[in-house]
A and B are shown apart, each in its own frame.
Chain A
Amino acid sequence: FCKYSSIRSSMITSFNQSSQFLLPAAYGVRNIQTASAASPALSAFGARVGLEVSQPALERAVTHKSFGAVNNAQLEILGKRVAGLFCTEYLRSRYPRLPPAAFDKVLTAYIGNNSLAKYGREIGLQHVLRWDAAESEGAFHSETMSSALNAIIGLVHQEKGAEAAKKFVHAHILARDVNVSDVVKIENPKAHLSRLTTRYGKEKPLSRLLKETGRATNSAVFIVGVFSGEEKLGEGYGNSMKMAEYRACMDAINKHYLFENKDFMLPSDTLSEAEYKPVAFGDTQVIV
Protein backbone atom coordinates (compact mmCIF):
# COMPACT_ATOMS: atom_id res chain seq x y z
CA PHE A 1 0.00 0.00 0.00
CA CYS A 2 2.65 2.51 0.99
CA LYS A 3 5.37 1.24 -1.35
CA TYR A 4 5.16 3.72 -4.19
CA SER A 5 2.36 6.03 -3.31
CA SER A 6 2.10 8.76 -0.81
CA ILE A 7 -1.67 8.44 -0.64
CA ARG A 8 -3.28 8.64 2.71
CA SER A 9 -7.05 8.40 2.93
CA SER A 10 -8.69 9.85 5.94
CA MET A 11 -12.23 10.28 7.10
CA ILE A 12 -11.52 13.59 8.77
CA THR A 13 -14.62 15.69 8.65
CA SER A 14 -13.15 18.93 9.96
CA PHE A 15 -11.32 20.74 7.21
CA ASN A 16 -8.01 21.36 8.94
CA GLN A 17 -5.12 19.70 7.23
CA SER A 18 -2.54 20.65 9.80
CA SER A 19 -4.28 18.90 12.66
CA GLN A 20 -2.81 15.55 11.68
CA PHE A 21 0.73 16.67 12.24
CA LEU A 22 0.78 19.13 15.12
CA LEU A 23 -0.33 18.51 18.67
CA PRO A 24 -2.85 21.05 19.99
CA ALA A 25 -1.43 24.02 21.82
CA ALA A 26 -2.95 22.78 25.07
CA TYR A 27 -0.16 20.22 25.32
CA GLY A 28 2.29 23.10 25.69
CA VAL A 29 4.53 21.79 22.92
CA ARG A 30 5.50 23.90 19.92
CA ASN A 31 6.67 22.73 16.52
CA ILE A 32 6.94 19.10 17.42
CA GLN A 33 6.17 16.79 14.55
CA THR A 34 4.57 13.50 15.42
CA ALA A 35 4.86 12.02 11.95
CA SER A 36 5.15 8.27 12.00
CA ALA A 37 7.80 6.21 10.24
CA ALA A 38 5.64 5.87 7.12
CA SER A 39 5.12 9.61 6.82
CA PRO A 40 3.91 10.51 3.33
CA ALA A 41 5.48 13.95 3.56
CA LEU A 42 8.86 12.40 4.28
CA SER A 43 8.71 9.92 1.41
CA ALA A 44 7.59 12.73 -0.90
CA PHE A 45 10.55 14.80 0.28
CA GLY A 46 12.94 11.93 -0.40
CA ALA A 47 11.62 11.53 -3.94
CA ARG A 48 11.70 15.29 -4.57
CA VAL A 49 15.37 15.56 -3.65
CA GLY A 50 16.32 12.36 -5.46
CA LEU A 51 17.24 10.23 -2.45
CA GLU A 52 16.98 6.47 -2.77
CA VAL A 53 17.57 5.68 0.88
CA SER A 54 15.50 3.67 3.33
CA GLN A 55 12.66 5.48 5.07
CA PRO A 56 13.82 4.95 8.70
CA ALA A 57 17.32 6.16 7.78
CA LEU A 58 15.89 9.29 6.18
CA GLU A 59 13.68 9.86 9.17
CA ARG A 60 16.73 9.69 11.40
CA ALA A 61 18.58 12.17 9.19
CA VAL A 62 15.86 14.79 9.55
CA THR A 63 15.54 14.35 13.33
CA HIS A 64 17.34 17.03 15.30
CA LYS A 65 18.99 16.09 18.60
CA SER A 66 16.44 18.17 20.51
CA PHE A 67 13.76 15.70 19.43
CA GLY A 68 15.12 12.53 20.99
CA ALA A 69 17.88 9.98 21.37
CA VAL A 70 17.70 8.71 17.78
CA ASN A 71 18.94 11.77 15.90
CA ASN A 72 21.11 13.08 13.10
CA ALA A 73 24.08 14.31 15.16
CA GLN A 74 26.54 11.65 13.93
CA LEU A 75 25.36 11.85 10.33
CA GLU A 76 25.70 15.63 10.47
CA ILE A 77 29.36 15.37 11.47
CA LEU A 78 30.05 13.08 8.53
CA GLY A 79 27.96 15.00 6.03
CA LYS A 80 29.50 18.35 6.91
CA ARG A 81 32.97 17.10 6.05
CA VAL A 82 31.79 15.26 2.93
CA ALA A 83 30.15 18.44 1.66
CA GLY A 84 33.23 20.41 2.69
CA LEU A 85 35.55 18.12 0.74
CA PHE A 86 33.60 18.11 -2.52
CA CYS A 87 32.87 21.82 -2.41
CA THR A 88 36.43 22.81 -1.52
CA GLU A 89 38.09 20.73 -4.22
CA TYR A 90 35.63 22.03 -6.82
CA LEU A 91 36.02 25.69 -5.87
CA ARG A 92 39.79 25.41 -5.58
CA SER A 93 39.96 23.98 -9.09
CA ARG A 94 37.49 26.47 -10.50
CA TYR A 95 39.09 29.59 -8.93
CA PRO A 96 42.76 28.61 -8.52
CA ARG A 97 44.04 32.10 -7.64
CA LEU A 98 41.43 33.10 -5.08
CA PRO A 99 43.09 34.37 -1.86
CA PRO A 100 42.25 32.53 1.41
CA ALA A 101 39.93 35.16 2.91
CA ALA A 102 37.93 35.46 -0.29
CA PHE A 103 37.87 31.69 -0.73
CA ASP A 104 36.40 31.25 2.77
CA LYS A 105 33.62 33.67 1.89
CA VAL A 106 32.78 31.82 -1.30
CA LEU A 107 32.86 28.42 0.43
CA THR A 108 30.58 29.70 3.20
CA ALA A 109 28.19 31.00 0.54
CA TYR A 110 27.81 27.42 -0.67
CA ILE A 111 27.90 25.28 2.46
CA GLY A 112 27.50 27.71 5.36
CA ASN A 113 24.62 27.24 7.80
CA ASN A 114 22.55 30.05 6.40
CA SER A 115 22.95 28.93 2.81
CA LEU A 116 22.01 25.36 3.61
CA ALA A 117 19.04 26.52 5.68
CA LYS A 118 17.88 28.72 2.81
CA TYR A 119 18.16 25.82 0.40
CA GLY A 120 16.40 23.53 2.85
CA ARG A 121 13.44 25.89 2.89
CA GLU A 122 13.39 25.84 -0.91
CA ILE A 123 13.07 22.05 -1.02
CA GLY A 124 10.44 21.76 1.71
CA LEU A 125 12.70 20.49 4.49
CA GLN A 126 10.86 22.55 7.11
CA HIS A 127 7.78 20.37 6.63
CA VAL A 128 9.58 17.11 7.45
CA LEU A 129 12.11 18.35 9.98
CA ARG A 130 11.61 16.85 13.44
CA TRP A 131 12.76 19.10 16.26
CA ASP A 132 11.59 20.55 19.50
CA ALA A 133 11.89 24.34 19.65
CA ALA A 134 11.49 24.41 23.43
CA GLU A 135 14.30 21.94 24.03
CA SER A 136 16.80 23.04 21.43
CA GLU A 137 18.32 25.58 23.88
CA GLY A 138 18.06 28.61 21.69
CA ALA A 139 19.39 26.94 18.53
CA PHE A 140 18.05 28.92 15.66
CA HIS A 141 15.90 27.25 13.07
CA SER A 142 18.65 27.72 10.49
CA GLU A 143 21.00 25.56 12.55
CA THR A 144 18.49 22.72 12.76
CA MET A 145 17.77 23.02 9.05
CA SER A 146 21.43 22.99 8.05
CA SER A 147 22.12 20.09 10.42
CA ALA A 148 19.38 18.09 8.69
CA LEU A 149 20.77 18.87 5.24
CA ASN A 150 24.30 17.96 6.32
CA ALA A 151 22.94 14.75 7.80
CA ILE A 152 21.22 13.92 4.51
CA ILE A 153 24.54 14.34 2.69
CA GLY A 154 26.17 12.12 5.31
CA LEU A 155 23.41 9.56 4.86
CA VAL A 156 23.90 9.42 1.10
CA HIS A 157 27.64 8.95 1.64
CA GLN A 158 27.04 6.23 4.21
CA GLU A 159 24.39 4.27 2.36
CA LYS A 160 25.29 4.87 -1.28
CA GLY A 161 29.00 5.62 -1.25
CA ALA A 162 31.32 8.46 -2.18
CA GLU A 163 30.31 8.70 -5.86
CA ALA A 164 26.64 9.11 -5.02
CA ALA A 165 27.45 11.69 -2.33
CA LYS A 166 29.58 13.64 -4.81
CA LYS A 167 26.75 13.62 -7.39
CA PHE A 168 24.32 14.81 -4.73
CA VAL A 169 26.56 17.66 -3.59
CA HIS A 170 27.24 18.75 -7.18
CA ALA A 171 23.57 18.58 -8.16
CA HIS A 172 22.14 20.39 -5.14
CA ILE A 173 24.84 22.54 -3.55
CA LEU A 174 27.34 23.39 -6.28
CA ALA A 175 24.65 24.02 -8.90
CA ARG A 176 23.65 27.14 -6.95
CA ASP A 177 24.85 30.50 -8.18
CA VAL A 178 27.26 32.69 -6.22
CA ASN A 179 28.32 36.11 -7.49
CA VAL A 180 32.07 36.28 -6.83
CA SER A 181 32.59 39.71 -8.41
CA ASP A 182 33.26 41.67 -5.21
CA VAL A 183 34.59 39.02 -2.86
CA VAL A 184 38.22 40.19 -2.96
CA LYS A 185 38.83 43.08 -0.55
CA ILE A 186 41.99 45.12 -1.03
CA GLU A 187 42.89 48.28 0.93
CA ASN A 188 45.26 49.95 -1.50
CA PRO A 189 44.55 48.55 -4.96
CA LYS A 190 47.08 50.77 -6.72
CA ALA A 191 49.97 49.53 -4.58
CA HIS A 192 48.69 45.96 -4.74
CA LEU A 193 48.54 46.07 -8.53
CA SER A 194 52.05 47.50 -8.66
CA ARG A 195 53.35 44.52 -6.64
CA LEU A 196 51.44 42.11 -8.88
CA THR A 197 53.00 43.49 -12.06
CA THR A 198 56.45 43.32 -10.47
CA ARG A 199 55.93 39.66 -9.62
CA TYR A 200 55.03 38.74 -13.16
CA GLY A 201 57.82 40.80 -14.69
CA LYS A 202 55.49 43.29 -16.36
CA GLU A 203 55.99 47.02 -16.70
CA LYS A 204 54.70 49.06 -13.78
CA PRO A 205 51.03 50.12 -14.07
CA LEU A 206 50.16 53.48 -15.56
CA SER A 207 46.68 55.00 -15.45
CA ARG A 208 45.37 56.78 -18.52
CA LEU A 209 42.19 58.75 -18.98
CA LEU A 210 40.25 57.08 -21.77
CA LYS A 211 37.06 59.12 -21.92
CA GLU A 212 35.47 61.92 -19.98
CA THR A 213 32.39 64.06 -19.97
CA GLY A 214 30.99 66.92 -17.91
CA ARG A 215 34.25 67.73 -16.09
CA ALA A 216 33.02 71.07 -14.70
CA THR A 217 29.53 69.85 -13.84
CA ASN A 218 28.19 68.08 -10.78
CA SER A 219 27.77 64.81 -12.66
CA ALA A 220 31.08 64.21 -14.37
CA VAL A 221 32.00 60.82 -15.77
CA PHE A 222 35.59 59.73 -16.20
CA ILE A 223 36.70 56.42 -17.66
CA VAL A 224 40.22 55.43 -16.72
CA GLY A 225 42.24 52.48 -17.96
CA VAL A 226 45.24 51.09 -16.13
CA PHE A 227 47.97 49.91 -18.48
CA SER A 228 51.10 47.85 -18.18
CA GLY A 229 53.02 49.10 -21.21
CA GLU A 230 50.62 48.58 -24.08
CA GLU A 231 48.45 46.02 -22.38
CA LYS A 232 45.29 47.28 -20.69
CA LEU A 233 44.89 45.51 -17.38
CA GLY A 234 41.64 47.06 -16.21
CA GLU A 235 39.10 49.81 -16.73
CA GLY A 236 37.01 51.81 -14.32
CA TYR A 237 34.47 54.60 -14.26
CA GLY A 238 33.81 57.29 -11.69
CA ASN A 239 32.73 60.85 -11.11
CA SER A 240 36.25 61.84 -10.19
CA MET A 241 39.50 60.75 -11.80
CA LYS A 242 40.65 59.32 -8.48
CA MET A 243 37.54 57.16 -8.16
CA ALA A 244 37.84 55.97 -11.75
CA GLU A 245 41.51 55.05 -11.20
CA TYR A 246 40.59 53.16 -8.02
CA ARG A 247 37.95 51.18 -9.86
CA ALA A 248 40.33 50.51 -12.74
CA CYS A 249 42.96 49.08 -10.36
CA MET A 250 40.28 46.95 -8.60
CA ASP A 251 39.09 45.70 -11.98
CA ALA A 252 42.63 44.65 -12.89
CA ILE A 253 43.09 42.91 -9.53
CA ASN A 254 39.76 41.11 -9.83
CA LYS A 255 40.63 39.93 -13.32
CA HIS A 256 43.69 38.30 -11.81
CA TYR A 257 42.33 36.74 -8.62
CA LEU A 258 38.91 35.79 -9.92
CA PHE A 259 40.36 33.93 -12.87
CA GLU A 260 38.06 30.98 -13.57
CA ASN A 261 39.01 27.58 -14.96
CA LYS A 262 36.35 26.32 -17.32
CA ASP A 263 37.41 22.76 -18.03
CA PHE A 264 39.05 20.82 -15.24
CA MET A 265 39.28 17.46 -13.52
CA LEU A 266 38.67 17.03 -9.83
CA PRO A 267 40.85 14.93 -7.50
CA SER A 268 37.78 12.88 -6.56
CA ASP A 269 37.39 11.90 -10.22
CA THR A 270 40.03 9.26 -9.46
CA LEU A 271 37.25 7.33 -7.72
CA SER A 272 35.79 6.54 -11.12
CA GLU A 273 38.44 7.39 -13.69
CA ALA A 274 41.99 6.04 -13.87
CA GLU A 275 43.71 8.93 -15.69
CA TYR A 276 43.89 12.06 -13.60
CA LYS A 277 45.27 15.37 -14.77
CA PRO A 278 45.61 17.73 -11.80
CA VAL A 279 44.77 21.41 -11.99
CA ALA A 280 47.75 23.71 -11.40
CA PHE A 281 47.33 25.67 -8.19
CA GLY A 282 47.41 29.39 -8.79
CA ASP A 283 50.05 31.62 -7.20
CA THR A 284 49.37 32.95 -3.72
CA GLN A 285 48.22 36.49 -3.26
CA VAL A 286 50.71 39.35 -3.24
CA ILE A 287 51.80 40.70 0.15
CA VAL A 288 51.85 44.50 0.18
Chain B
Amino acid sequence: MSAQRLASVTKNGVGAYVLQCRKMVFNYCENWGSNKGMINYLKKDIVEFAKANPQIEVVVEQRPAHHPVIRGEYLNGREKVICVRNMAPFEIKQKVQLLKESSGAKLKNLTKRPVLSTTESVRGIWSPFHTNPHKI
Protein backbone atom coordinates (compact mmCIF):
# COMPACT_ATOMS: atom_id res chain seq x y z
CA MET B 1 0.00 0.00 0.00
CA SER B 2 1.31 3.47 -0.85
CA ALA B 3 2.12 5.79 2.04
CA GLN B 4 -0.24 8.61 2.98
CA ARG B 5 2.33 11.31 2.40
CA LEU B 6 4.23 11.49 -0.85
CA ALA B 7 7.95 11.73 -0.16
CA SER B 8 10.59 13.55 -2.18
CA VAL B 9 14.12 12.21 -2.47
CA THR B 10 17.21 14.36 -2.90
CA LYS B 11 19.33 13.62 -5.95
CA ASN B 12 22.58 15.37 -5.03
CA GLY B 13 24.17 16.89 -8.12
CA VAL B 14 21.10 16.86 -10.39
CA GLY B 15 20.44 20.47 -9.44
CA ALA B 16 22.80 21.82 -6.84
CA TYR B 17 25.69 19.75 -5.53
CA VAL B 18 26.11 19.82 -1.77
CA LEU B 19 29.46 18.65 -0.41
CA GLN B 20 28.83 16.05 2.26
CA CYS B 21 31.76 17.02 4.47
CA ARG B 22 30.59 19.91 6.64
CA LYS B 23 33.33 20.27 9.23
CA MET B 24 36.96 19.27 9.78
CA VAL B 25 38.63 19.43 13.17
CA PHE B 26 42.44 19.35 13.36
CA ASN B 27 43.86 18.35 16.73
CA TYR B 28 47.54 18.79 17.50
CA CYS B 29 49.92 18.73 20.47
CA GLU B 30 52.87 21.07 20.92
CA ASN B 31 55.12 18.60 22.72
CA TRP B 32 54.78 15.13 21.25
CA GLY B 33 57.09 14.37 18.31
CA SER B 34 54.43 12.63 16.24
CA ASN B 35 52.83 16.02 15.65
CA LYS B 36 55.74 17.50 13.69
CA GLY B 37 54.16 16.94 10.28
CA MET B 38 50.78 18.13 11.47
CA ILE B 39 52.23 21.36 12.86
CA ASN B 40 53.98 22.01 9.55
CA TYR B 41 50.74 21.34 7.70
CA LEU B 42 48.92 23.82 9.94
CA LYS B 43 51.57 26.43 9.30
CA LYS B 44 51.75 25.96 5.53
CA ASP B 45 48.79 24.30 3.85
CA ILE B 46 45.67 24.61 5.93
CA VAL B 47 44.79 28.20 5.03
CA GLU B 48 44.91 27.32 1.34
CA PHE B 49 42.64 24.34 1.98
CA ALA B 50 40.13 26.44 3.96
CA LYS B 51 40.10 29.14 1.28
CA ALA B 52 39.48 26.60 -1.46
CA ASN B 53 36.67 24.92 0.52
CA PRO B 54 34.47 27.62 2.08
CA GLN B 55 31.70 25.08 2.62
CA ILE B 56 33.76 23.13 5.14
CA GLU B 57 33.97 24.56 8.64
CA VAL B 58 37.63 24.20 9.59
CA VAL B 59 38.46 24.07 13.29
CA VAL B 60 41.97 23.90 14.76
CA GLU B 61 42.21 22.81 18.37
CA GLN B 62 45.08 21.96 20.67
CA ARG B 63 44.82 18.52 22.23
CA PRO B 64 47.85 18.06 24.45
CA ALA B 65 49.47 14.67 25.05
CA HIS B 66 47.80 13.02 22.10
CA HIS B 67 48.74 12.04 18.57
CA PRO B 68 47.56 14.42 15.85
CA VAL B 69 44.10 13.62 14.58
CA ILE B 70 41.81 14.92 11.83
CA ARG B 71 38.11 14.52 12.41
CA GLY B 72 35.66 14.94 9.53
CA GLU B 73 31.97 15.47 10.30
CA TYR B 74 29.38 14.76 7.62
CA LEU B 75 25.82 15.72 6.79
CA ASN B 76 24.53 12.20 7.51
CA GLY B 77 25.54 12.69 11.16
CA ARG B 78 28.54 10.37 11.08
CA GLU B 79 32.15 11.29 11.57
CA LYS B 80 35.43 9.88 10.30
CA VAL B 81 38.60 10.16 12.35
CA ILE B 82 42.10 9.69 10.97
CA CYS B 83 45.19 9.65 13.17
CA VAL B 84 48.02 11.32 11.27
CA ARG B 85 50.86 10.57 13.66
CA ASN B 86 54.34 10.69 12.14
CA MET B 87 53.00 11.75 8.74
CA ALA B 88 54.63 14.34 6.52
CA PRO B 89 52.55 17.35 5.41
CA PHE B 90 51.97 15.92 1.92
CA GLU B 91 50.61 12.70 3.45
CA ILE B 92 48.34 14.72 5.72
CA LYS B 93 47.16 16.58 2.64
CA GLN B 94 46.17 13.24 1.09
CA LYS B 95 44.22 12.29 4.20
CA VAL B 96 42.47 15.65 4.21
CA GLN B 97 41.51 15.11 0.58
CA LEU B 98 40.19 11.63 1.47
CA LEU B 99 38.03 13.04 4.22
CA LYS B 100 36.77 15.86 2.03
CA GLU B 101 35.71 13.49 -0.75
CA SER B 102 33.96 11.00 1.53
CA SER B 103 30.21 10.94 1.90
CA GLY B 104 30.39 9.90 5.52
CA ALA B 105 28.62 6.63 4.81
CA LYS B 106 29.95 3.43 6.36
CA LEU B 107 32.41 1.60 4.15
CA LYS B 108 30.67 -1.25 2.35
CA ASN B 109 32.22 -4.28 0.73
CA LEU B 110 31.36 -3.93 -2.95
CA THR B 111 33.01 -7.16 -4.03
CA LYS B 112 30.46 -9.54 -2.52
CA ARG B 113 27.01 -8.50 -3.75
CA PRO B 114 25.83 -7.57 -7.21
CA VAL B 115 25.00 -4.02 -8.24
CA LEU B 116 22.20 -2.23 -6.40
CA SER B 117 20.39 0.38 -8.43
CA THR B 118 17.34 2.61 -8.22
CA THR B 119 16.90 2.60 -12.03
CA GLU B 120 15.33 -0.23 -14.00
CA SER B 121 17.36 -2.84 -15.85
CA VAL B 122 18.21 -2.13 -19.46
CA ARG B 123 17.01 -5.42 -20.96
CA GLY B 124 14.24 -6.15 -18.50
CA ILE B 125 13.88 -8.92 -15.89
CA TRP B 126 13.34 -12.44 -17.27
CA SER B 127 9.73 -13.61 -17.32
CA PRO B 128 8.40 -17.09 -18.14
CA PHE B 129 5.51 -15.55 -20.06
CA HIS B 130 7.73 -13.92 -22.60
CA THR B 131 9.86 -16.93 -23.59
CA ASN B 132 9.26 -19.65 -26.12
CA PRO B 133 8.36 -23.06 -24.67
CA HIS B 134 11.18 -25.60 -24.50
CA LYS B 135 11.37 -27.87 -27.56
CA ILE B 136 13.35 -31.07 -27.67
A41 interface neighbour in B5, B23, B61, Cβ under 8 Å: B23
Contact yes or no, A17 B10, CB < 8 A: no
Contact yes or no, A6 B57, CB < 8 A: yes
The A interface, classified by DSSP as helix, strand, loop or mixed, is mixed
B59 contacts the other chain (CB 8 A)? yes
Contact yes or no, B18 A109, CB < 8 A: no
A110 contacts the other chain (CB 8 A)? yes
A5 interface neighbour in B5, B11, B47, Cβ under 8 Å: B47
Q: A17-B59, A48-B19 are in contact. Are A109 and B14 (CB under 8 A)?
A: no
- Closest Cβ of chain B: how far from A92's Cβ, in Å? 17
Q: A6-B50, A44-B55 are in contact. Are A108 and B6 (CB under 8 A)?
A: yes
Contact yes or no, B75 A15, CB < 8 A: no
On chain B, the residues within 8 Å of A176 by CB distance are 8-11, 15
Interface residues of A in 31-65 (CB under 8 A from B): 40-41, 43-45, 47-50
**Across the two chains, which residue of chain B brings its CB closest to A40?**
B57
Contact yes or no, B6 A183, CB < 8 A: yes
Contact yes or no, A106 B6, CB < 8 A: yes
Contact yes or no, B7 A115, CB < 8 A: yes
A10 contacts the other chain (CB 8 A)? yes
Q: A6-B56, A7-B60 are in contact. Are A177 and B8 (CB under 8 A)?
A: yes
Contact yes or no, B56 A44, CB < 8 A: yes
A287 contacts the other chain (CB 8 A)? no
- Closest Cβ of chain B: how far from A102's Cβ, in Å? 9
**Across the two chains, which residue of chain A brings its CB closest to B13?**
A175
Contact yes or no, A4 B7, CB < 8 A: no
- Closest Cβ of chain B: how far from A56's Cβ, in Å? 17
Show the binding face of B for A, using Cβ within 8 Å: 2, 5-11, 14-16, 18-19, 22-23, 25, 27, 46-47, 50-51, 54-64, 75, 128-129
Show the binding face of A for B, using Cβ within 8 Å: 4-13, 15, 17, 40-41, 43-45, 47-50, 105-106, 108-110, 112, 114-115, 118-119, 122-124, 127, 170-172, 174-180, 182-183, 211, 213, 221, 223
